[in-house]
A and B are shown apart, each in its own frame.
Chain A
Amino acid sequence: MSSIQIPRRRFLALGAAGFGASLLAGCDRLSESPEVGEFLSSAEGLTYRAQRLLGGSHSLAREYAEADLSPVFKVNGTHMPEGDDYAELVESNFARWRLRIDGLVANPLDLSLQDLRNLPQRTQITRHDCVEGWSAIGKWQGVPLSIVLKRASPLPEARFAVFHCADMYEHALDGTGQYYESIDLIDAFHPQTILAHRLNDGPLSVGHGAPLRLRVERQLGYKQAKYVMRVELAASLEGFGRGKGGFWPDRGYEWYAGI
């Protein structure tokens, strides 16, 4: 009996090891296929619908106390946008900077930093979760995006808010290296979605996106667009970048980053 079982065991062990190795090699081959990538991406729609169903427009991200603040809030992504235009804005302390609100709105706006400061403010201490896995807690102050959008009077066709940023993240040959992001109008009108101009009781630093950065607290860090220059309301995400709704979504990351 045992004389039969030992070769059998060895055979099975070898088989299992071979199976494991070919499984990984097979998974790598599958990973190279765009169709498989598309298929795996179908989970994103499920996640989006599930979180919208359960959380809708009302669920709030946790707000922390001053004592919970990260000692150091990590600077990630662009540290300093390239180019003379941005350098001049920094030089003049953003005096000539204007935020443009346009696209599918009845009343396009150009707002200075002072205009934004004069609007109702919201301060929130929230956790920033990077797609890489780390978290930092910071205190943000800014204008709720809903207040700005309401003043611009969105048209009924509008479905997305697209944020155009000052930083060229990558020198892509097709000109799609400019950082941009987009959110649906549920998040755009969420009470914690703000255009922040202050972090931890000081003006937003260049590393953190001066003069203005988006905070959309129920999503990951790459949605928190820095150096926001223009908010455009749109009916579809086609025609922006490579059509997936953001710099990182154009490069394989989920457009809906609530997970």
Chain B
Amino acid sequence: METRAEAHGSVGIPVAVSIYRHALVTRLTHWINVLCVTVLLFSGLQIFNAHPALYWGHFGADADHPVFEIGADEPENGPPVGFARIGSTTFATTGVLGVSNNAAGEAVERGFPRWLTLPGWRELSLGRRWHFFFAWLFVANLLVYFAAGLGNGHLRRDLLPSGQELRPRSLLRDIAGHIKLKFPRGEEARRYNPLQKLAYLAVIGVLLPVMVLTGLTMSPGMDAILPWLVDLFGGRQSARTIHFIAAFLIVLFVVVHVAMVFLAGPINELRSMITGRFRISVEDQHE
């Protein structure tokens, strides 16, 4: 890791140091992943809208009981009412889920609103085209990331928490630090903190692979090729439900991730993911 300290005289004065934080392959795969996940999310919601209900098990259709459902009730007098139902709990969601405005400003029945689907209008076939093209790119990008991360030590060195970091005391201290929005400074900022490592590992090591595998399980062709996929997730409809839950968790991660970037210093964080250079302040050790 090269550092470029600016000249300062006396001991103990903080000095801004620019460190090389992200390898080119990390930055490239990060931004390709941003593009893929964005397109996959919005085209995925377009696909979901074709049958806005989720089931558990091997089968599930209109006559079967969904675990999650978005729909619309049509009262005898009055406009349609959108709802989302989880298990037996129903939420009124008119305006966003179940019933939302079309491009002409009229309230129409649809699962997710037009501003959350790709394309904005209802076209399952085009949603699928977007989804599968970017699914291929997403998988290729993930493979490049894993190959490079194993090869250059990025996964082991930067993401794998040390035994010490996993001790309850250090985790609790890190949690407290996050709650108080106190971010590591100086030498500590050279590394990801333990919660950060765990969050990245959970997304990269669990959520993204689960998205790929549950996606493959929904393909009847792949089910014939890899029958264990269906067993792994307890059925094609369970896989579809898990695909949706994992997508939701990825959105949750992105919200927290982007919030942390803004709280920790957006210019510095963004620059480090573009140019690789990250600025930290260390106490000058030179006389």
Contact = CB atoms under 8 A, between A and B. Distances in A.
Main secondary structure of the interface of B (DSSP, over half): helix
B120 to A, nearest CB: 5
Contact of B118 (A24, A37, A44, A54): A24
Interface string B125-151: 110111011011000000000000000
B38 A23 contact: yes
A41 B130 CA distance: 8
Nearest to B216: A259
Contacts of B236: 127, 129, 135
Interface in B137-183: none
A106 interface: no
A47 B135 CA distance: 11
A193 B267 CA distance: 59
A71 interface: yes
Contact of B50 (A42, A132, A259): A132
B130 A47 contact: no
Given A31-B126, A136-B59, A251-B125, A9 B223 contact: no
Given A43-B136, A60-B224, A253 B128 contact: yes
Given A13-B262, A31-B118, A71 B64 contact: yes
Interface string B212-232: 000000111111110100100
Interface string A43-58: 1101100010011000
B65 to A, nearest CB: 10
A165 B121 CA distance: 30
A70 B53 CA distance: 16
Contacts of B284: none
A251 B129 CA distance: 12
B222 A259 contact: yes
Given A8-B266, A132-B50, A132-B124, A218 B58 contact: no
B24 interface: no
Contacts of B223: 61-62, 218
B104 interface: no
Interface in B37-65: 38-39, 42, 47-48, 50-51, 53, 55, 58-64
A217 to B, nearest CB: 7
Contacts of B270: 12
Sorted nearest first, the 6 A-B pairs with minimum C-beta distance are A258-B221, A252-B125, A72-B63, A31-B119, A134-B61, A133-B51
27 contacts: A9-B262, A12-B267, A16-B258, A23-B38, A28-B120, A28-B121, A41-B133, A43-B132, A59-B224, A70-B59, A70-B61, A74-B62, A74-B63, A129-B218, A129-B220, A133-B50, A133-B240, A134-B51, A135-B58, A135-B59, A135-B237, A217-B220, A218-B224, A252-B126, A253-B128, A258-B220, A259-B218
